[in-house]
Amino acid sequence: MSAAEHARRPAFAAPLTIAATAALALLLIAGSHVSTVVFAGAALGLVVLASVASLVWPRTILVVVALSPILDRYLIPGLLTPAAETLTHFLSEALLVGVGSVLVAQGWRHGTLRAALFHPTVGLAFGFVLLSLASAVLNAVPAAQAVAGIGFTLDAVALFVLARIVGFTPRQARSAISWIIAVALSAAALVTAQALISPYLLGLDAVQGRFGELYRLAAFFGDPNTLAAFLSTAIPFAIFGATGLASPRGRRLALAGAALLMLALWLSFSRGGWLGAVGGFTIAALLLDRRALRIGLVLAVVTFAAAMVMPRNLLCDTCEERPDLFGSTFGRFDTIGEGRDLRTLFVLNALPIIGDHPALGVGPGRYGGAAADIFGTPVYAAYRTDTLFVNPTQRTVDDFWLHLLVESGVVGLVVFAGMVGATVRPMLRSARGASGQRRLMLAASAGALAALTINSLTTMLLEANSMAFLFWLLLGIGSLLAVASDPET
């Protein structure tokens, strides 16, 4: 928004929008207990309000859309009736469609749409769609299932394009990502309070793990794995901020924030989150900032030790003994060594499928993801994959890249990886010659994207769920920062 546009905006616009959003959110919750019509009307009102607000605050609303899956999957559902809870899971997709339609129209009107689409990542995304359609025809996948399979894999890519339509300067990118970091810090503080006081603090709950983790904490996320993935996106910004911010006070605050985020990461007991956070940050720091790597490694050791010895459950008389970080982790290794780890079994089960369908896979929506669960698939029976789904709540293979390889084949996997690499490579190349804010944002974004990519080896993070939106928004912002000028110059 230009200075002239900002000056013309009514002073009461923001308070009025916030008040209307709060009122509609309350109506959404209360309406679910009254009738489906009232609930649907409130949901539609929220979508319309966000779409209109994107005309005034496009970057802020994009961040809201990127974070909305947390709202509709974890925060709101517990307050709704069971019937409304299912419908709420579509709220984030509805927000993406509503806000996206408005911003695309604005991009067409102002001439920014063509430039937003003119990027290798977007071109490769179109190529991936064509390959998926070819695979669907070759494997006789029903049309609805093929569309769902492609959509669940690619719908979040819209945020990449939308970020490029509205544009982000380094200063605007820092402002937008600061909201994401604020949410992560709030969750980390709440997890720490759960560990110190009670896992059931403020009506929250804890997850019982299968390897000795008595209390896997998740704050308001509800799912420790999603919490850990979210924290892993914020940790690189905090650690790179501890070395890259100009103000000594800012560097100290960033260091404290990084310590809090890493402590909460250990308390989540998400081994995939640990692997993603440590691996992703290490790759980015090795390439761009060895000093940040040293600070990160020291913080990792110190916070892990703190998680081991910190007081636990001070106000919970009924809580069991403290969880065992070491024991639970080695318990996971034992199951892998003994051939009982479910993710390993899925990989072994997938090898014959890949061998029979190496190039284009078994077709979109036919393996491992939500579409295969919704529509069913003959692949599971043919290769005895269905025998591995012994847990009623386990309906995916918990490995996005395995799911992608089996459905799209080697060609599809390479094209999808190329979509990500077409943006990340220029980000890394540009970060080496950048300075100040832009270098910090590029390095931290690369670390966050690497963390989510690695973490997706142990969960379906990038398939139309809570973290895919954030992943592609960060990629979109990164594609702009890679060609921007340093604010200092």
Is residue 16 domain-resident?
no
Report if residue 58 sits inside a domain. Answer: no
Q: Which of these, 372, 376, 396, lies nearest to 462 by C-alpha position?
A: 396
- Taking alpha carbons only, the member of 355, 356, 350, 375 closest to residue 364 is 375
- Could you report the per-residue pLDDT of 8-35, keeping only the tens digit for each? 455 556 666 777 777 777 777 777 777 7
For residues 43 and 479, which has the higher predicted lDDT (pLDDT)?
A: 479
**pLDDT above 50 for 5:** no
Across residues 419-435, what is the average pLDDT?
93
Calculate mean pLDDT across residues 272-277: 92
Residue 316 within a domain:
yes
Report the chain's mean pLDDT, rounded to a whole number: 86
Cβ contacts of 146 within 8 Å, gap of 6 or more: 132, 133, 136, 363, 364, 365
CB 474 within 8 A of CB 448: yes
Mean pLDDT of 254-259: 96
Q: State the pLDDT at residue 269.
A: 86
Over the stretch 167-199, which tens digit does the pLDDT of each residue have?
Answer: 999 889 999 999 999 999 999 999 999 888 888
Residue 462 has pLDDT above 50, yes or no: yes
Question: Under 8 Å CB-to-CB from 102, ≥6 apart: which residues?
Answer: 51, 52, 54, 55
Q: What is the pLDDT of residue 18?
A: 72
Q: How many domains does the chain have?
A: 1
Q: Would you say 385 and 349 are in contact if contact means Cβ atoms under 8 Å apart?
A: yes
**What is the residue range of 414's domain?**
112-489
Distance CA 329, CA 97 (A): 41
**For position 37, what pLDDT does the model report?**
80
* pLDDT attached to residue 323: 62
Q: What does the pLDDT read at residue 338?
A: 46
pLDDT at 309 (0 to 100): 87
Domain contains 42 = no
In a domain, 327, yes or no: yes
Q: Give the mean model confidence (pLDDT) for residues 441-459.
A: 94
Cα–Cα distance, 331 to 323 (Å, whole number): 13
Name 178's bridge partners: none
Q: What is the pLDDT of residue 208?
A: 61
Most confident region among 26-40, 330-344, 470-484 by mean pLDDT: 470-484
Residue 95 lies in a domain: no
Residue 209 clears pLDDT 80, i.e. is over it: no
Whole-angstrom Cα distance, residue 104 to residue 117?
11
What are 207's strand-pairing partners?
A: 216
Give pLDDT, residue 464. 64
Residue 2 is predicted with a pLDDT of: 44
Instruction: Name the pLDDT band for 211 (thresholds 50, 70, 90).
Output: very low
Please name the residues in contact with 263: beta carbons below 8 A apart, sequence gap of 6 or more.
188, 192, 303, 306, 307
pTM higher than the cut 0.95:
no
**Contact between residue 135 and residue 450 where contact means Cβ atoms under 8 Å apart:** no
What are the angstrom distances between the C-alpha of 66 and each of 14, 59, 62, 87, 121?
Answer: 20, 11, 6, 19, 19
Q: Is the dihedral of CA 291, 293, 295, 297 positive or negative?
A: negative
Q: What is the pLDDT of residue 314?
A: 83
Least confident of 289-298, 329-338, 347-356: 329-338
Q: Domain for residue 253, yes or no?
A: yes
* Percent of the chain residues topping a pLDDT of 90: 57
Give residue 378's pLDDT. 94
| Higher pLDDT among residues 214 and 84, named by residue | 84
